[in-house]
Amino acid sequence: MRPHAGPAEAEVVTVAGVGSLVSEASARESFDFSNFRVGEVRGWRRSFCQSNWVNVASGGVSLESNEVAALAMVPAADYVSHVALLDVAPSELPGFYEREAGYRILWVSFSVKGQDGSVIEEGQALMCAACDDDAEADRLWAPDGEMARRCEDQSYVREWMSRALRPMWPAPQADMPLRPCDCAGTAQSVEARLSPPISLEELPRRLVPGLPLYPAPGYLRDCAQAHEAAGLLQHLLDSTCLSDRRTTLTDYLAANPGLDEYIRVRVPSS
């Protein structure tokens, strides 16, 4: 695992937002920050590769087709990904770690460019990356693990991990079908087959065996609208891959026009 090291005695720590953290409003639900801007990280790209129980509890998923995935960053040589950058006081970092339970959080280099393409800022940022497997996630987020030690509320982390869908980090599945189900349909038909929010007691424990992992439609819509507000929607679609680490969101949505329509429908912000 890459060493977890970063700026010592920093007045603020920069966090790289790649999924829901691209939404300023969503980020402020967990911690305070300043200086929201867009930057770049090299050698990483987004992938819908984490099965996420929070998506299931919140609704907007299809359990029958494993459409429950959230985003994480995965290694991609020489790839440049645009991310949100947020400056966080060290006292606020426990809220960030608690929000991102289950991920491998590491330091990456970032840059910010001016309108002429020149680099106007460089530094190190904390970013959520995919774990290699569930064993790594369990080790990092155990009570004495590297990630959990950075949280003030260990009880929350233990509860979060105990509710995790398994496998939380399934291995990429080759020859992944472009359509997760038989319904291409319209935005309305996509919404009709999605699950409503459910209680924690009703949460499933496992993915459907043998099926690939697909993006959770409700979470995908939230991410798309957050990236649109940040001017990053087309980048999200063209650069993000599915859990196979190859198929782009652009190709996935082209094969699922109803889902493409669904994620572009504006929903009121809370």
206-215 pLDDT tens trace:
999 999 999 9
Across residues 6-14, what is the average pLDDT? Answer: 71
**Quick one: pLDDT at residue 220?**
97
DSSP H or E stretch at residue 150: none
pLDDT at residue 10 is higher than 90: no
Sequence-ordered alpha helix ranges (H) in 123-216: 134-140, 154-162, 187-192
Q: How far is CA 95 from CA 86, 92, 233, in A?
A: 14, 6, 27
Q: How confident is the model at residue 30 (pLDDT cuts 50, 70, 90)?
A: confident
**Quick one: pLDDT at residue 51?**
98
Whether 5 is covered by a domain: the verdict is: no
Grouping H, G, I as helix, E, B as strand and the rest as coil, residue 48 is: strand
CATH number of the domain within which 216 lies? 3.10.490.10
pLDDT at residue 60 is higher than 50: yes
Whether 47 is covered by a domain: the verdict is: yes
Is the Cβ–Cβ distance between 168 and 135 less than 8 Å? no
Q: How confident is the model at residue 4 (pLDDT cuts 50, 70, 90)?
A: very low
Higher pLDDT, 125 or 264: 125
**Quick one: pLDDT at residue 174?**
86
Whether 269 is covered by a domain: the verdict is: no
Whether 141 is covered by a domain: the verdict is: yes
Q: How confident is the model at residue 8 (pLDDT cuts 50, 70, 90)?
A: very low
**Quick one: pLDDT at residue 257?**
94
pLDDT at residue 141 is higher than 90: yes
Burial class of residue 257, CB neighbours in 10 A (0-12, 13-18, 19+): middle
Within 8 A by CB and 6+ apart from 96, the residues are: 15, 30, 31, 88, 126
**Quick one: pLDDT at residue 267?**
60
Whether 85 is covered by a domain: the verdict is: yes
Please report, as a single letter, which amino acid is at residue 103.
Y
Its domain, for residue 225, covers 13-264
DSSP for 60-84 reads -BBGGGTEEEEEEEEEEEEEEEEEE
Minimum mean pLDDT among 88-92, 144-148, 184-188, 192-196: which range? Answer: 184-188
Minimum mean pLDDT among 10-19, 92-101, 177-186: which range? Answer: 177-186
What whole-number distance in Å separates Cα of residue 163 and Cα of residue 205?
7
pTM above 0.75, yes or no: yes
151-199 pLDDT tens trace:
998 999 999 999 999 999 999 998 999 999 877 679 999 999 999 999 9
Grouping H, G, I as helix, E, B as strand and the rest as coil, residue 120 is: strand
**Quick one: pLDDT at residue 25?**
85
Whether 204 is covered by a domain: the verdict is: yes
Across residues 10-36, what is the average pLDDT? Answer: 89
Whether 1 is covered by a domain: the verdict is: no
Across residues 202-221, what is the average pLDDT? Answer: 97
Is the Cβ–Cβ distance between 49 and 207 less than 8 Å? no
Whether 78 is covered by a domain: the verdict is: yes
- Provide the mean pLDDT of the chain: 92
Using a pLDDT cut of 70, give the percent of the chain over it: 94
Question: What domain count does the chain have?
Answer: 1
